[in-house]
Amino acid sequence: MLRDPSTPMPYISRPSLRILDNDVDPATDVPASTATTATLSTSKPVTGSIDAYGDHDWFRIELASGAPYIFEIAGISDPPGQPTATPTLALRDANGTSLAEGWGRMYVTAPADGTYYIDAAGPPPIGEPHLDYTLSAQTWVQLSATPIVGRAPEGTEGQATTYSFLVARQHHTTSAMTISYAIEGLDTSTDVAAIASIGTEPGAPLIQHGTDAGGWLDFAAGQSELVLFVTVWGNDRPGPSHSFYVIAGPPPGMTPHFTFATALIIDDEPIQVLDVRSATTGALVTTAPALYNGPMPNLEREFISPTEESLNIAVAGDGGWFIRTGAGDDAIATSGGHFVIDAGAGSNFIAGDISRTHVELDPRDATAPSWSTIEDFGYYDSVALMGISQATHHLVWQDDQGQPGHRGLTLHAITADGPTTSITFSGLVAPSFHTQDGTGTPYLFIAGTQGLPY
């Protein structure tokens, strides 16, 4: 038949039909009921297959009350790299009632100890007869480690000092559990002390020594806390005080969740030199520095002299010192380490060398103007001017003020009913710190924010 080429071709519709395999093989299918024998655990993923539309696979799993769990399901592409559908998840109780649902991933907390079921479902990709998948369950135990005895003098050669740490767990406390621990930061060849013993009883046999030590801690069923003891031997070698760490980790099969606690071995050999002299006569002042037992971190020794006035103090070494002086004009020079200096009233000169220094000046009882100088003020350094605030004083900043050789940016705190308090930050020509009023007792807090590259 000939067709007039000027007339359009008629549209002919041909219906199409796709026949999909919707059969499930009872011999291999995972039942969708509490009668399932398929199981899931936190120690190993499982694989399965959605064989038809509407197919569900139930996996039995034992969950602990209050414990957090993550369930994940992902389709397996065939060939690899091809897009695939994402299956769905549901958590069901022992009776098969749905408690939670998710798509690809589900976060749940079990309301009680017992048996539960994970329901895996989802349509196969268009044109595919089935959907293969992997299903996994993960959980974690909340661990904490807290020092009980976390700082102590090293002691003499052969003397044993025992540190103790409270290791606790949350969740999964009804059953026995073995967790890992490690001791890091101790090296018998260079540190101030060697490990003598590690265990859950004082004087337990040595497990391992060297740069690291570690092992396993056993929680009994129902036990949520235990104490880890770390005993070290002292020695007579001078050296810096040293920190070590206790790290607790989860048992195999749980999502990694680590916690750590820090302990400080205070080297008690006289490696730090404290020289105190009268600024008036130059005479040596007898000193009796003591171990620091206050609340501030990183401080090991203290020198307190509330009766001596106008002192020249020099501290050398890499330790941490708390220094408090009386009235008068004091000069305090530090070298390395951490320092908290309560210089009181008067005109004080504070010089630090690559240190972490906090200085407190207290002009509240002053009857005459004072002018203090701080050298090398930078990162991690701070000053507290007691009794001074932006609300009660007029604060004036001036460049290039102070004594020759120590001039710098200077703050003048001026009040109508008291003497002026001045402080020079030697060598600084522009503000490189943060200033704010303190809470409670009025004081002005100045913290270094830039400057020295340490």
Domain CATH code at residue 245: 2.60.40.2030
CATH number at residue 56: 2.60.120.380
For residues 178 and 118, membership in a common domain is answered with no
- Asked whether residue 214 is domain-assigned, the answer is yes
For 18-31, what is the mean pLDDT? 58
The residue segments making up the domain with residue 123 are 46-139
For residues 218 and 168, membership in a common domain is answered with yes
Q: Is the pLDDT of residue 452 over 70?
A: no
Least confident range from 24-33, 124-133, 167-176, 437-446: namely: 124-133
pLDDT, position 39 = 93
The CA distance from 381 to 339, in Å, is: 9
Q: Choose between 430 and 423: higher pLDDT.
A: 423
The CA distance from 444 to 350, in Å, is: 18
- Asked whether residue 241 is domain-assigned, the answer is yes
- Asked whether residue 75 is domain-assigned, the answer is yes
Residue that has been written with the tokens 């008629």 in this structure: 10
Q: Choose between 265 and 287: higher pLDDT.
A: 265
pLDDT, position 126 = 56
Please, are residues 217 and 178 in contact by the beta-carbon 8 Å criterion?
Answer: yes
For residues 154 and 102, membership in a common domain is answered with no
Angle at Cα 373 formed by Cα 370 and Cα 377, nearest 5°?
140
Please, are residues 266 and 57 in contact by the beta-carbon 8 Å criterion?
Answer: no
**Average pLDDT across the chain, whole number:** 78
Q: Which residues contact 440 (CB under 8 A, 6 or more apart)?
A: none
pLDDT digits (tens, 9 = 90+) for 374-417: 988 877 788 989 889 888 899 999 999 998 889 999 999 999 88
- Asked whether residue 6 is domain-assigned, the answer is no
The answer to whether the pTM exceeds 0.85 is: no
Q: Which of 441, 279, 444 is nearest to 346 (CA)?
A: 279
Q: Is the pLDDT of residue 59 over 90?
A: yes
Question: What backbone phi and psi angles, to 5 degrees, belong to 286?
Answer: -65, 130
| Boundary (domain end) residue, out of 266, 292, 310 | 266
Task: Return the number of other C-beta atoms located less than 10 Å from residue 44's C-beta.
Answer: 10
- Asked whether residue 26 is domain-assigned, the answer is no
Across 25-39, 76-90, 410-424, the highest mean pLDDT is recorded for: 410-424
Residue 408 to residues 268, 314, 393, 397, 430, Cα–Cα distance (Å): 38, 23, 21, 10, 9
> For a pLDDT cut of 70, what percent of the chain falls above it?
77
The CA distance from 96 to 92, in Å, is: 5
- Provide the pairing of β-strand 421-426 with 151-153: unpaired
pLDDT, position 12 = 42
- Asked whether residue 357 is domain-assigned, the answer is yes
Least confident range from 45-54, 184-193, 343-352: namely: 184-193
Q: Is the pLDDT of residue 195 over 60?
A: no
For residues 335 and 250, membership in a common domain is answered with no
Q: Choose between 4 and 246: higher pLDDT.
A: 246
Residue 225 to residues 113, 174, 183, 219, 228, Cα–Cα distance (Å): 20, 12, 18, 8, 10
Q: Is the pLDDT of residue 320 over 50?
A: yes
pLDDT digits (tens, 9 = 90+) for 145-188: 999 988 888 777 777 788 889 999 887 787 788 888 888 877 65
For 337-341, what is the mean pLDDT? 80
Report residue 25's pLDDT band, with 50, 70 and 90 as the boundaries: low
The CA distance from 391 to 389, in Å, is: 5
Please, are residues 291 and 311 in contact by the beta-carbon 8 Å criterion?
Answer: no
| Boundary (domain end) residue, out of 122, 139, 156 | 139
Least confident range from 197-201, 258-262, 272-276: namely: 197-201
Q: Which of 101, 95, 105, 113 is nearest to 135 (CA)?
A: 105
Residue 349 to residues 164, 195, 422, 454, Cα–Cα distance (Å): 41, 43, 12, 22
| Boundary (domain end) residue, out of 266, 296, 322 | 266
For residues 348 and 246, membership in a common domain is answered with no
- Asked whether residue 31 is domain-assigned, the answer is no
Q: Which of 136, 120, 117, 121 is nearest to 36 (CA)?
A: 117
Q: Is the pLDDT of residue 421 over 70?
A: yes
For residues 172 and 236, membership in a common domain is answered with yes
For residues 330 and 371, membership in a common domain is answered with yes
Task: Return the number of other C-beta atoms located less than 10 Å from residue 15's C-beta.
Answer: 4
pLDDT digits (tens, 9 = 90+) for 200-241: 666 555 444 434 567 788 888 888 888 888 877 777 666 667
Query: DSSP of 294-341, one letter per residue?
Result: SSSTT--EEEEESS--SEEEEEESSSEEEEEE-SS--EEEEESSEEEE
- Asked whether residue 233 is domain-assigned, the answer is yes
pLDDT, position 296 = 76
For residues 78 and 131, membership in a common domain is answered with yes
Number of domains in the chain: 3
Q: Choose between 51 and 110: higher pLDDT.
A: 110
Written as six digits, the tokens of 262 are: 């820090």
For residues 129 and 150, membership in a common domain is answered with no
Going across the sheet that includes 259-266, the strands are 151-153, 259-266, 242-249, 177-184, 212-219
- Provide the pairing of β-strand 320-325 with 338-344: parallel
For residues 277 and 311, membership in a common domain is answered with yes
> For a pLDDT cut of 90, what percent of the chain falls above it?
14
Angle at Cα 141 formed by Cα 139 and Cα 146, nearest 5°?
160
Across 8-17, 182-191, 273-282, the highest mean pLDDT is recorded for: 273-282
For residues 129 and 186, membership in a common domain is answered with no
For 132-144, what is the mean pLDDT? 85
For 276-289, what is the mean pLDDT? 81
pLDDT digits (tens, 9 = 90+) for 89-114: 999 999 999 999 988 888 888 888 89
For residues 231 and 350, membership in a common domain is answered with no
